Amino acid sequence: MTRIGMFGILCGTALFAASSAFALPKASELVAPMGMGYNIGNTMEVPENPTAWGNPLPTAGYIKAIKAAGFNTVRIPCAWYSHSDALAKDIAAYGGTADNDTYKHVGKDASFTNPTIDAAWLKQVKDVVDMIIAEGMYVVLNSHWDEGWLEDRVYDGTASPRDGANNIVNSSATTKARQAAYWKQIATYFKDYDEHLLFAGANEPGVNDPWGSNGQWEFDNTRMQVLKGYYDAFITSVRNAGGNNATRTLIVQAPRTEMDNAPMLSQNWPTDPAGAGYMMAEVHYYPYQYSLMTEDKDWGKQYYYYTGLSSTTDTEHNMGWNVYSQSIDNSALGTPNQIKKSFGELKTMFCDKGIPVIIGELGAIKRTGQITDAANLKLHLQGRALFYGEVAKNAKANGIVPYVWDTGAENDGNMTIITRQKGTYSILDPDVLNALQKAYGQEGNNQSNLDSLVNENEVPETEAGKGVQVTYQTVTSDSSEVGTVRVNLSGANKDLSKYVGIEVRLKGSVASAGPCTGTSDGCGDYGWTSMDLFMMTGSSWAWFDAPVMEQADQELTGSFQTFQVKWEDFRNEPTGLNEANAIGLNLYGTQVTGTITFDYIKGIKADGSTEIIDDFDKKSDLAGTATGKVVALSGTDAIKPAAVAATSKMLVNVQPGVVSASFTAAKTAPAKAMLMNSLGQVIAQQNFTASKGSNSVDLMSNYRGPAMLIVRQGSQQLVQKVILK
């Protein structure tokens, strides 16, 4: 019998090791039996209420479905701070409320260093852990973001939050004391569990850093020592908690869990009182342009189609497309070449030294709402499966345990493999699951749903234009509900100050009066509906709205009509129009059913002319009672999108720690320069005044690796890819 077998699950309800007198298996012995992993995301880590983000609490049926799908280890992202008395004490200390989040943006450091986790919450977490172990699987129990009590405080001193609220002053000693207190309680509570339970001390430390005047803070050696202190507190607390904690496998994360920062963790590996072999390292893997990016930028396009399954009609969205060379870069983040190289480097850096690695989160969004061509959509869906399989194959080959990310969402843009919100626990993404299973030597014969997804989203290639068709269906019959269509703005479209109002073009009908169904209380025929145009502007995302029509079911017809809303028509005249974040329409009402097609949103100029801000060629964000798809518009209904101007070039010089850019400006005016890494995070920025004619600007950064340099003055934007030294 192997050592793992000796310390396996006991029969009946005993879910702990037979004895704590013997050392548990070393971390490297767990890699093979752990196999491939699954995240129960957007659930136990949700601050205060695990069901607040739309998912039910995990059930035995859901856990069995994960096991049946071929996974043998489950990561539980978990909240602790918001389930402890630290939350209430922080709120009280700063005179805030839980509703306005004042406690997150404080003017002085919290002094409460010994919080107590709620006993009922520990029991709730235990129930989920027990269900997983009962299926013979392994559990990674972590400390997740949870209002950023640790994740956003990897520094000493004062920082300015991104949203412009009060400064955050942090003492790493306070955060370290809280880290020690939490893990002492967690480890003590689970002390008798065997090697099937692993602890992870953080999630993505530093990824949501406060921003200084030059952008996201550099993660230098000084900050690494702060993070190492948090890990030391985690390790010491667990090792001193008794039982099997003396040799339980513990996991620590690279700064921001970025692979580029893995060397920093390797060079500052914490000391473990248990000796060598009882720890793992963690990184995450979301190649930004392929996995997460949702709109094209001047510096780069979204990657829709994976290497080997490229589109011939939409080449600029192929994996690795370089906007400057107009060609494919086969070493770009997410390509098979890059995966093989990076995973091999992780093996050399950690695994070969007896420190296994987990990819704690990985995935790529499904783009069924963005790709309207049937053949291209099929390529995209096939490519996603290929990507997941490539990651899993390389992870297994290098002794790395991969965990797919899952949020439970089933809408466009999801990464969900197994459904759970409706209690059916069916396979939502069989093609991706097949690729994962085959990488781990399983059959991988789940029935594909690829063709049905393509057919649902197909738009004939011969049609000249597109719009978004939105269907509204309220659920309750005695209270108002809302359906939202929202367009997020970027680039030149963020500046609405050049307009005097907004024009929308739409057609369709909605019914808003009974008879009410699904109730037994005689609600009556009092249904109603109204539509508002809304917008959000500035760093505070200020909200402004205006009625588009009071009775949409009376005014809408089967033919397209235009509706104009001027700034003075808004309930509060909008401000901050030069930095608009989003435009959208809300349909409010009770007992509402119906379908509306939106063709465009335009800006109205002072001379009465208009220009397209968004033409819905790619489906916008839909929420509430609104669901929809992109549809073809033909004949007089068709509207062609506006052309996008090409960007100019600039001269760039990269030296260790500094990037210099030279460019020509058409006028003297304020400008901004910034560096953005491959995850879309700003790592340095500078505001300055550019003079008419020749200009130069320097940006300082200790970041290493690929980045985008962006210089912006008004509507002019200069972009160039750089490799930081």
Task: Look at residue 554 in the predicted model and tell me its pLDDT.
Answer: 41
Question: In a 10 Å sphere around its CB, with 0-12 CB exposed, 13-18 middle and 19+ buried, how is residue 643 labelled?
Answer: exposed
Residues 539 and 431 in one domain: no
Q: Decide if 403 contacts 360 (C-beta within 8 A).
A: yes
Residues 442 and 506 in one domain: no
Neighbours of 453 (CB within 10 A): 18
Q: Number of folded domains in the chain?
A: 3
pLDDT (tens digit per residue) in 685-694: 888 888 887 8
Residue in this structure with the two tokens 């235009």, named with its chain if needed: 562
Structural domain of residue 552, as residue ranges? 465-637
CATH number at residue 131: 3.20.20.80
Mean pLDDT over 167-186 rounds to 91
Mean pLDDT over 13-20 rounds to 39
Residues 629 and 686 in one domain: no
pLDDT (tens digit per residue) in 586-621: 887 777 777 888 888 888 888 677 788 888 777 677
Q: How would residue 712 be classed by pLDDT, with cut points 50, 70 and 90?
A: confident
DSSP for 321-367, written as a single string: EETTTTEE-TTSTTSHHHHHHHHHHHHHHTGGGT--EEEEEE-----
pLDDT (tens digit per residue) in 193-243: 999 999 999 999 998 776 555 556 788 999 999 999 999 999 999 999 999
Q: Map residue 239 onto helix, strand or coil.
A: helix
Residues 416 and 554 in one domain: no
- Distances in Å between the alpha carbon of 94 and those of 104, 165, 297? 9, 13, 40
Task: Look at residue 457 in the predicted model and tell me its pLDDT.
Answer: 65
**What are 536's strand-pairing partners?**
543, 582
Within a domain: residue 405? yes
Can the peptide bond before residue 115 be classed as cis, meaning omega within 30 degrees of 0? no
Q: Map residue 92 onto helix, strand or coil.
A: helix
Q: Decide if 435 contacts 392 (C-beta within 8 A).
A: yes
Residue in this structure with the two tokens 């390509």, named with its chain if needed: 335
pTM: 0.72
Within a domain: residue 220? yes
52 pLDDT more than 70: yes
CATH number at residue 689: 2.60.40.2550
Within a domain: residue 304? no
13 pLDDT more than 60: no
**What are 138's strand-pairing partners?**
73
677 pLDDT more than 80: no
- Rounded to the nearest integer, the mean pLDDT of the chain is 83
Q: Find which of 17-31, 66-80, 617-631 is predicted with most confidence, using mean pLDDT.
A: 66-80
Q: How would residue 96 be classed by pLDDT, with cut points 50, 70 and 90?
A: low
Mean pLDDT check: name the lowest of 276-280, 337-341, 456-460.
Answer: 456-460
- Distances in Å between the alpha carbon of 513 and those of 177, 209, 482, 541? 58, 49, 15, 34
Chain Cα centroid distance, residue 540: 21
Residues 548 and 588 in one domain: yes
Neighbours of 105 (CB within 10 A): 18
Neighbours of 45 (CB within 10 A): 22
Task: Look at residue 217 in the predicted model and tell me its pLDDT.
Answer: 75
DSSP for 247-285, written as a single string: S--EEEE-GGG-GGGHHHHHHTPPP-TT-TTSEEEEEEE
- Per residue, what are the HEC states of 277-317? CCEEEEEEECCHHHHCCCCCECCECCCCECCCCCCCCCHHH
Residues 424 and 473 in one domain: no
Q: How would residue 425 be classed by pLDDT, with cut points 50, 70 and 90?
A: very high
Mean pLDDT check: name the lowest of 136-140, 393-397, 447-451.
Answer: 447-451
Q: Map residue 504 onto helix, strand or coil.
A: strand
Could you say which of 439, 456, 473 is where a domain stops? Answer: 456
Spatial separation of the C-alpha atoms in residues 35 and 237, rounded to whole Å:
28
State what percent of residues in the chain have pLDDT above 70.
Answer: 81
Angle formed at CA 643 by CA 637 and CA 649, multiple of 5 degrees: 165
Within a domain: residue 608? yes
Residues 478 and 502 in one domain: yes
Spatial separation of the C-alpha atoms in residues 343 and 327, rounded to whole Å:
25
Spatial separation of the C-alpha atoms in residues 561 and 549, rounded to whole Å:
12
Q: How would residue 681 be classed by pLDDT, with cut points 50, 70 and 90?
A: low
State what percent of residues in the chain have pLDDT above 90.
Answer: 47
CATH number at residue 525: 2.60.120
Q: How would residue 527 be classed by pLDDT, with cut points 50, 70 and 90?
A: very low
Q: How would residue 477 be classed by pLDDT, with cut points 50, 70 and 90?
A: low
Residues 132 and 19 in one domain: yes
Could you say which of 587, 611, 637 is where a domain stops? Answer: 637
Could you say which of 574, 605, 637 is where a domain stops? Answer: 637
pLDDT (tens digit per residue) in 486-524: 888 877 778 898 899 998 888 877 665 443 333 333 333
262 pLDDT more than 70: yes
Residues 165 and 31 in one domain: yes
Residues 211 and 64 in one domain: yes
pLDDT (tens digit per residue) in 323-360: 888 999 999 999 999 999 999 999 999 999 999 999 99
107 pLDDT more than 60: no
Within a domain: residue 297? no
Task: Kindly give, in sequence order, each residue whose CB lies less than 8 Å from that of residue 598, ignoring residues fewer than 6 positions away.
Answer: 467, 468, 469, 470, 485, 504, 505, 506, 585, 616
- For the chain, report the end-to-end CA distance as a whole number of angstroms: 52
Residues 679 and 614 in one domain: no
Residue bearing the bigger pLDDT, 623 or 131: 131
Within a domain: residue 93? yes
Within a domain: residue 682? yes
Spatial separation of the C-alpha atoms in residues 576 and 542, rounded to whole Å:
8
Spatial separation of the C-alpha atoms in residues 210 and 258, rounded to whole Å:
18
Mean pLDDT check: name the lowest of 31-40, 411-420, 456-465.
Answer: 456-465
Within a domain: residue 300? no
Residues 683 and 554 in one domain: no
710 pLDDT more than 90: no
